Chain A
Amino acid sequence: MTPPILEVREIYKYFGNVIALNGVSMRLQQGEVMCLLGDNGAGKSTLIKILSGVHRPDKGEYLVQGRPVAFSSPRDALDHGIATVYQDLAMIPLMSIARNFFLGSEPTVGRGLLKRFDMAAAKRIVRDEMAKMGIDIRDPEQPVGTLSGGERQSVAIARAVYFGAKVLILDEPTSALGVKQAGTVLRYIARARAQGVAVIFITHNPHHAYPIGDRFTILKRGQTLGTFTKQDITRDEMIHLMSGGDELANLEHELREFANDAMAQQLADAIHEEV
């Protein structure tokens, strides 16, 4: 069996007296989509910042293809094939798609003083790469700012895949999107997986995670509640775990005890449905 493309073992991270991660372990195989789920404050952001080289863990092991690593910067992680697409995308709205796509890694033609940015190649590559993702770019020279949120996400994903990402970390790529656009992004994630890329998909929306995920790691209060394959867990069980189902059940119970008034009753019903 090949070693996992990315693995963390018993990761701890402290910020002052706050324990952000309390012994988190996770592994990722090539060509799978791992969904990282958890409510606010569960430690998702801290974990991905460690994975992408922004933070270093205080304790624990981080292995890439079986070899321990200690990244000094996001660029370092990128050089190991770990690319992160953040919510804010790191795209420059007034620059064209082609210019954004190749910023920092521009293709060139010519030598010496005549060495120049090969715009023709840049435009062609962008159009081809986006076509692979199933998006028809009308004009690679249009500003990124004119794209919809879903399209911007897919440009960022296509860029990471094109520049050799073996692991793609997507931080809440669907959270700011409407239903239809979120669907588009999910489709690109599937395409990236089909190209052999391993994906870590961070979300707090189980309805986005469940259809695309192969495995699900649920974080809560800095710890993993476990990793489940799709066969092991139903969508409802997942939602239950994620939202701290037991606590919600207690809350529902409490509300019913006090609830003679209709308002609290309604609230309890709502919680019951959610659980």
Chain B
Amino acid sequence: MASIAGQSDKTDERIRRESALKKLLRRPELGAISGAILVWIIFALAAGDRFVSLRGSANFLAVASELGILAIAVSLLMIGGEFDLSIGSMIGACGMIIAILSVQMGWNIWAAIAVSLIVALVVGAINGLLVIRTRLPSFIITLGTLFIIRGLTIGLTRLVTGRTQVGGVKDALGYDSASQVFASVLSIVDPASARGLSANFPISILWWLLIAALATYVLLRTRPGNWIFGIGGDAMAARNVGVPVNRMKIILFMLTAASAWLVATIQVLSVGSADTLRGESREFYAIIAVVIGGNLLTGGYGSAIGAAFGALIFGMVQQGIVFTGIDSDWFLVFMGAMLIIAVLVNNYIRKLASEAR
């Protein structure tokens, strides 16, 4: 025991010797966290109370949370070395399955939600299997399935309902209990509001935080987490030391599909209707959030917290621009520029970190 105690004393000495700053620089999420603070300050100055108030915060948090749920799952997959572009159309498909089964077919909405999850997991597994079997880049495979799923959703929906939108979900069987879980809202009267309006915080914010915490725990503190870093860093090396590379990749694709399902469920239950075009471009928004969050596009490096903050930045910019009164057309320009800057900054930070000796 004495020798172990001695050993850990020695450890403390050595850790103290290393500069705390360099240690901090080694965390992948550092850029996204400081970026989020910076963006908040910018909009607090530019848009003032409308952005900083409870109502403003609820507004951008709602946007950030839905994107964040996707981004966290995408970040795990990206750290594992793969992409999933199909999540955008997966949102549309899952939402439509829930709406058709619960409204057209009169199912209990819980059953519809469950079936939609199963479909998502199957599609995720198919994505993973295709990537492994064909050895094509996942970018290509999921770009293909992105179009296939969207096409099937539009085609089948029109075949069954004759339309591309299905409403009336709020009248479905079991809606009340399901909406408690997926679409409830915490209303707080905003003291800043002259008319006594309240700020509505959707439960998706809770899901976002919960999933970020869970994903971070898995990544940093479990064996599968270590494997994810390994297969993204060097799949061959990981396989040689006994990591089940294929199984892990399939599971990661199933997770991104499941994240699309969760977002779809939240949207359908909140809005009360489904649209075949739901989720368009979300696959790219998620990748932007993940990359802004400090995740390496080529895999092996990154963090779920970073992705969650990347989504927060995204939400703040999207809503902040509206509050400043600038035409929201400029939002896309801003996000694109931000993506490029974030990658440059992250590369620089990573270089500093890998030279930190």
Contact = CB atoms under 8 A, between A and B. Distances in A.
Contacts, number: 87
Nearest to A100: B230
A95 B225 contact: no
Contacts of A138: 14, 17-18, 357
B22 to A, nearest CB: 10
B44 interface: no
Contact of B241 (A105, A108, A127, A139): A105
B332 interface: no
A119 B221 CA distance: 7
B356 A142 contact: yes
Contact of A92 (B7, B217, B221, B300): B300
Interface residues of A, number: 29
B221 A104 contact: no
Interface string B1-27: 000100110010011011000000010
A103 B357 contact: no
Nearest to B10: A127
Interface stretch (B58-66, B144-152, B231-239): B231-239
Contacts of B233: 92-95
Contacts of B227: 103-104
Contact of A146 (B7, B226, B230, B354): B354
B47 interface: no
B355 A146 contact: yes
A116 B221 contact: yes
B261 interface: no
- For chain B, give the interface size range: 35 or more
A127 B242 CA distance: 23
A123 B14 CA distance: 13
B134 interface: no
B222 A117 contact: yes
B260 interface: no
Contacts of A180: none
Most buried by B among A91, A95, A104: A104
B300 A75 contact: no
A117 B354 CA distance: 24
Most buried by A among B237, B243, B300: B237
Given A92-B237, A104-B243, A146 B357 contact: yes
A104 B221 CA distance: 14
Given A116-B221, A138-B18, A127 B356 contact: no
A128 interface: yes
B223 A90 contact: no
Contacts of B71: none
A31 interface: no
Contacts of A3: none
Contacts of A95: 229-230, 233, 300
A102 B243 CA distance: 11
B25 to A, nearest CB: 12
A4 interface: no
14 contacts: A92-B229, A92-B233, A94-B233, A94-B296, A99-B226, A102-B226, A104-B238, A117-B222, A119-B221, A123-B11, A124-B8, A139-B15, A139-B18, A143-B353
Given A103-B226, A142-B356, 6 more contacts: A90-B234, A92-B229, A92-B230, A104-B238, A106-B223, A138-B357
**A-B interface, 3 closest residue pairs, ranked by CB to CB distance from nearest:** A92-B233, A104-B241, A90-B237
